[in-house]
Structure 1
Amino acid sequence: AQHATAHWKSSGHPVVQSFEPGEEWYWNYATDVLYEAGPELAPPTSHPAAQPTPGPADRVPRNWPDLLHP
């Protein structure tokens, strides 16, 4: 969420889509509105199903939860 919020604030692009496999929802930061579906976007539409979240294990700091803003 921090990455998407920062992108919205710096670019003015308020709408994001989930990047989780099987999810198609969109969120509008400007209006705080959730959309269950939206336009089909160009691939890739999600990270690989076998890739853990919040990202590849070898590229995420061990203390990643401590780095999140409240």
Structure 2
Amino acid sequence: MGAHIDPSATPSGTGCAECETAGGWWFHLRRCAACGHIGCCDDSLMRHATAHWRATGHPVIRSFEPGEAWFWNYDTDDYDAGPELAPPQSRPADQTAPGPRGRVPRDWVQQLQQRSD
């Protein structure tokens, strides 16, 4: 796993980079351990963290949620431990999940339940 982690890479922002650009929203956030890209999780509508792995070949992510420090490796389809990454370790604690505040639709639960796999 170590070859796919750069502990000095800083997060690309405080929310999903692609959702922010498109004015969208996310359920939870994931951080690429190689380059710091922040993408939305697979429970989100757009699944940008997985799309980033497929586009770049960076297989290791870390949760970007407050209080979570787990790593996931897409190549092995398993959890693992990893080193401390450059701060910040998570989205701001006052940022809502789902988020960001003001862009989450009222029917967000139904949207997530209805998304196509």
Q: TM-score, normalised by structure 1?
A: 0.81
Give the secondary structure class of the aligned counterpart of 1:59: coil
Q: State the one-letter code of the partner of 1:6.
A: A
Q: Indicate whether 1:42 and 2:86 are aligned.
A: yes
Unaligned runs of 5+ in 1: none
Structure 1 CA distance, aligned partners of 2:61 and 2:108? 22
> What is the aligned length?
68
Q: State the one-letter code of the partner of 2:48.
A: H
Q: RCO (CA 8 Å, sep 6+): is it higher in 1 or 2? A: 2
Q: Indicate whether 1:59 and 2:113 are aligned.
A: no
CA RMSD of aligned residues (A): 1.7
Give the secondary structure class of the aligned counterpart of 2:72: strand
Structure 2 CA distance, aligned partners of 1:69 and 1:17? 25
Runs of 4+ with deviation above 4 angstroms: none
Structure-2 residue corresponding to 1:3 = 48
Give the secondary structure class of the aligned counterpart of 1:8: helix
Structure-2 residue corresponding to 1:32 = 77
Structure 1 CA distance, aligned partners of 2:100 and 2:54? 26
Structure 1 CA distance, aligned partners of 2:53 and 2:103? 24
